[in-house]
Chains A and B, each alone.
Chain A
Amino acid sequence: MLIPVMLGVIFLVFFIISLTPGDAASMILGDGATEERIIELRDDMGLDDPLIVQYGRYMWDLLRGNMGDSYSTGRSVAGEIVQRFPNTFKLTVTAIFLSVLISIPIGVISATKQYSLFDNIGMILALVGISMPSFWTGLILIIIFALNLGWFPSGGMKGIMSLVLPAFTLAIASTASITRTTRSSMLEVIRQDYINTAKAKGVSRRKVITRHALGNALIPAVTVIGLEFGILLGGAVLTETVFSWPGIGRLMVESIQRKDTPMVLGCVIIFSLSFSIVNLIIDILYAYIDPRIKANYT
């Protein structure tokens, strides 16, 4: 599953970038370059070859583990990504951790007290959260907490404090959708017969929820958490730019602006690779949460 997805992604991105206007050679050389220099460089880089030949060359290099060098800085793409990836990873993992920590309890309480004040407020907040684009949330958080209150830095990556705002920005939207999923699957589960069986055994209210209901309600929630992780990686592109966070997302935006094809492709490969790996992990996790799924594979 992983390999065909990656191949498809690389194919699409390669051709989309190639079709965008702008010339890599003249961008590398800058405004003062002579016509001859540009033509010479284009020839060197093979930019005049048919697209399909360029694609073949790129894939051949990639197959041998060579992602090429950045057009703009000349440094190796792989090196740059290895250097930046931990930053993005730190940000998204913190964000997903935060949103799971917030959303699961809220979802559970909302479901057990359906239509209560808590539930209504929670669901309105979730609707608001899901409707705010992350770049906007980021700017608002900067205005309130960095500019006005001065509690956290507005950008950059210096210590744990600078992680707070971008992580919250990323977490807000996914918190909203994980909360809603947890709530709706809890609502479904607490109407099941086995919940009545548990109550009839004399299991306490709290344990009925935590042990009997949550175990079943988490199955759909885990799916959404996995998907959200992928969306967070994508959301990180905007959030990292807003907070000048030195991660892959910002690197990609900068590379697109410079038409730095190998760098953009490198970033995209890393995004889709981590997305696929997260999905794989989620699939494995299922087997631990739901014994019925394990039974299908053994």
Chain B
Amino acid sequence: MKDHILEIKDLHIQFNTDEGVVQALNGIDITLERGKTLGLVGETGAGKTTTALSILRLVPRPPGEVVRGSIILDGIPIMEQSEYEMEKIRGKTVSMIFQDPMTALNPVIKVGEQIAEAISIHQKLSKEKSLAKAREVLELVGIPGNRMQEYPHQFSGGMKQRVIIAIALSCSPKLLIADEPTTALDVTIQAQVLELMKELKQKFHMAMVMISHDLGVVAEVCDDVAIMYAGKIVEQGSLEDVFLRTKHPYTEGLFNSIPNIDDRKAELIPIRGLMSDPYNLPSGCPFFDRCDYAMDICRTEKPVKHSFSDTHFTECHLYTAQPEFSLKSKKTKE
């Protein structure tokens, strides 16, 4: 048995709102080895952030409710911990980088203190020692230590994201969850921040869950990729499996909707339609009405997992009937 930092099994989470029940996660299975990076890809509303928050047990409750499933983080069953024990896990074993650096820092607290806070909580250091350590971490992410005394509004977006990374890394967590860490940044800064994250990941030998809807970012940093759609992982495998031996029609759709650098005249083919209404998921495959390959069975029955190798699997009816089925070549449309 391999040594896993994270094991999520059959996780179901729903949100009970006034308008009805939103089934946010419908049976998520994720395993991640120590030191590896998993890319979690999907469109807005697919449940990526909910998955991430559930690992820290920060899904707001109410309205969120864990229906069933288990999460084991570094050998600790997350669902069974008390709130006090969770406080000791958050920031130390697992930490998280949030999407928008503009709003993720507290505007009225100096950045140095925001970094030092995590250190003093988990390493039980005095204020001076925590601040000294915070300074080191800040310099590690490429910000001069004398900016400790400044407030977040005095930093640019890219600098703020570096500060957030510094906070997340300040206690050398074993798992880092990055929720679209570069989406809110402009392209040149994106590359810098990604480079920094890769470098630090090597340095601390961290595992990472990288949430993104940018397949370019995923290709850059991830070892494994999981494609999410409507609260399920529809295809998962190594980077090569998913990128080169694409199996699920939705994954194919994602690739077809990004520009191809080798053939700039190629038409972009967006995935038609919208994601199914999360209040009212269809009884069959949730991707059914947007899928070019849809069959009758897809309307009525939920697809089951079909494995191609130890690591690569997809949930799609196409392969139950014809295991040798292969998707149309990319960039074509009937």
Looking at chain B, what size class is its interface with the partner chain? Answer: 20 to 34
Closest B residue by C-beta to A191: B60
Q: Are A194 and B87 in contact (CB-based, < 8 A)?
A: no
CB distance from A121 to the nearest CB of B (A): 20
Q: Are A202 and B108 in contact (CB-based, < 8 A)?
A: no
Count residues of chain A with CB under 8 A from any CB of chain B.
22
Q: Are B105 and A212 in contact (CB-based, < 8 A)?
A: no
Q: Is B106 located at the chain interface by the 8 A CB criterion?
A: yes
Q: Are A200 and B103 in contact (CB-based, < 8 A)?
A: no
Known: A193-B98, A212-B106. A202 touches B87 (CB 8 A): yes
Q: Is A74 located at the chain interface by the 8 A CB criterion?
A: no
- Which single member of A204, A212, A215, A295 contacts B154 (CB below 8 Å)? A295
CB distance from B115 to the nearest CB of A (A): 9
Q: Are A215 and B109 in contact (CB-based, < 8 A)?
A: yes
Q: Which of A15-23, A101-109, A235-243, A284-292 contacts B (4 or more CB under 8 A)?
A: A284-292
Known: A193-B98, A197-B167, A291-B151. A202 touches B89 (CB 8 A): yes
CB distance from A260 to the nearest CB of B (A): 49
- Complexed CA–CA distance, A196 and B107 (Å): 14
Q: Is B127 located at the chain interface by the 8 A CB criterion?
A: no
- Complexed CA–CA distance, A196 and B52 (Å): 12
Interface centre among A205, A211, A290, A291 (most CB of B within 10 A): A291
- Complexed CA–CA distance, A246 and B70 (Å): 69
- Complexed CA–CA distance, A200 and B55 (Å): 10
* B64-114 CB contacts (< 8 Å) to partner A: 83-84, 87-92, 95-96, 98-100, 103-109
Q: Are A199 and B109 in contact (CB-based, < 8 A)?
A: no
- Complexed CA–CA distance, A295 and B105 (Å): 17
Q: Are A205 and B83 in contact (CB-based, < 8 A)?
A: yes
Q: Is B58 located at the chain interface by the 8 A CB criterion?
A: yes
* A208-238 CB contacts (< 8 Å) to partner B: 211-212, 215-216
Q: Are A201 and B167 in contact (CB-based, < 8 A)?
A: yes
Q: Is A203 located at the chain interface by the 8 A CB criterion?
A: yes
Q: Which of B116-124, B190-198, B241-249 contacts A (4 or more CB under 8 A)?
A: B116-124
- Complexed CA–CA distance, A185 and B99 (Å): 23
0/1 interface trace, chain A 167-211, chain B, CB 8 Å (1 if under): 000000000000000000000000011101111111111000001
A-B contacts, 24 of them at CB < 8 A, read: A193-B103, A193-B104, A196-B58, A197-B96, A197-B98, A197-B106, A197-B167, A199-B90, A200-B58, A200-B90, A200-B96, A200-B168, A201-B90, A201-B118, A202-B88, A202-B91, A202-B121, A202-B122, A203-B121, A215-B106, A215-B109, A216-B106, A216-B107, A290-B108
* Nearest 6 Cβ contacts at the A-B interface: A202-B91, A193-B103, A201-B118, A202-B90, A201-B91, A291-B151
